[in-house]
Amino acid sequence: MNTGESQGHTFTLSPGGRLRGRFRVPGDKSISHRAIMLGSLADGHTRVSGFLEGADALATLRSFRALGVSIEGPGSGRVAIDGVGVDGLRAPAGPLDLGNSGTSMRLLCGLLSGQGFDSVLTGDASLSARPMGRITTPLTSMGASIHATEAGTAPLLIHGGQRLRGIRYEMPVASAQVKSGLLLAGLYAEGETWVKEPAPTRDHTERMLEGFGYPVYREHGWVGVEGGGRLRAADIDVPGDISSAAFFLVGACIAPDSEIVIEHVGVNPTRTGVLDILSLMGADIELRNRREVGGEPVADIHVKSSWLRGIRIPERMVPLAIDEFPVLFVAAACAQGDTVLTGAEELRFKESDRIAVMAEGLQELGVEAEPTADGMVIRGGRRREGHVLQGGQVRSHGDHRIAMALAMAALRARESIEVLDCDNVATSFPGFARLAREAGLGVTETGAVS
């Protein structure tokens, strides 16, 4: 489908191949964001290693520099932060441009609601189209004053000097970004702020708050904080991002004669839905060298090629794998039988409508992929060996996870695949194509890189 988009950076992929070797993937994006935020609010000097030097996390770093925080780096994944304390942020000179990062916008929306100065949050065209009412509505009930567009999108004008009150809020949709934004606002609110989700999501904010010495309460599915506390500086070792590892996990599963070990990956139980879903599909995955680093569970993930089968994905697993579904759709296309996903409407509100865009891409490659309101039905390949996908030209629509997922599809394609508009891969996985080549994927790059 030709949408008139600029092709920009393009991946051209040779058909077939296998993945081999031991390697690491870049640091966890979610933890990198939070390390900058909480390190900036802490009293003292915080050192971060393994920081993801991707566009999204760098947008957070630049924003806190604009808010008056002295931050050295990044260099080789190392960042040093001179924290200013919870009350030490200063008014920025202009709007904070968060690029493509929804995490930055939603978490900063909560945090800045409790400041004594006005601020404006902006982003690129994709981020500016994403709904922000899920975070602004409960923040308003806490006493925040936030002005969005008529469509409820950015730019967001946050009026400072408001008196925030703690609330008890049951979220209608599970979202770690909304939960985290409310907890950060709760640091500045009178009394206690409690949040309950309809299903568990990643808990990096809660774990890191405790790592910085801030009490977090948990009670019957609720999580809460009390305003008025302080954070103490801490050293953070960011593990590899399981969302980035997921592309290689699926690639090694679907490509015959593949075997890889991805080292030092974060395996927080609120993030391992991709492992659980692949295991239900019959994947040969083993976690080795389990350990805990800075409060986060870490392991080396060993994967061998395997014959996947289609499944009905349990809805309880959906929030635990929400960012990994683009590449899980590729796994489903290469599995035997049908895979059915429901309860994943959130995918329509990511960097792209990931249900519609992945269905379009898979259809271009000859896959029977039927999008639904809250998921997809994929009729997998009927062949255990050889090629199950066609080649062709597909569009990522500027979505980094779509681009990398469709790149991995080439491992089971009969002809080459060209993936257009891949500039935003740098938001979460700088160096993806280089690492993929080293592992065995036949990928070349052309065009401008943002």
| Active-site annotation, residues | 323
Task: In whole angstroms, give the CA distance from residue 243 to residue 63.
Answer: 24
Closest CA to 359 of 348, 370, 350, 345: 370
Residue identified by tokens 């891949």 is 422
Count Cβ neighbours within 10 Å for each residue of 279-314 and write b for 16 or more, e otherwise.
eebebbbeeeeeeeebebbbbbbbbebbbbbbbebe
Q: Which of the 8 DSSP states describes residue 241? A: P
With contact defined as beta carbons under 8 Å apart, do 27 and 77 qualify? yes
Task: In whole angstroms, give the CA distance from residue 117 to residue 363.
Answer: 49
| Torsions phi, psi for 195 (to 5 deg) | -130, 140
With contact defined as beta carbons under 8 Å apart, do 124 and 146 qualify? no
With contact defined as beta carbons under 8 Å apart, do 367 and 333 qualify? yes
Reading phi first (left if > 0) and then psi (alpha if -120 to 50, else beta), residue 426 is in: alpha
Kindly write down the DSSP assignment for every residue of 174-221, as one continuous string: --HHHHHHHHHHHTTSBSEEEEE-SS----HHHHHHHHTT---EEETT
H helix and E strand count, the chain = 12, 23
Closest CA to 63 of 103, 91, 93, 97: 97
Task: In whole angstroms, give the CA distance from residue 327 to residue 399.
Answer: 12
With contact defined as beta carbons under 8 Å apart, do 16 and 411 qualify? yes
Q: To which H or E segment does residue 58 belong?
A: helix 55-66
131 CB-contact burial (10 Å; exposed 0-12 / middle 13-18 / buried 19+):
middle
Q: Supply the Cα-derived Rg of the chain in whole angstroms.
A: 21
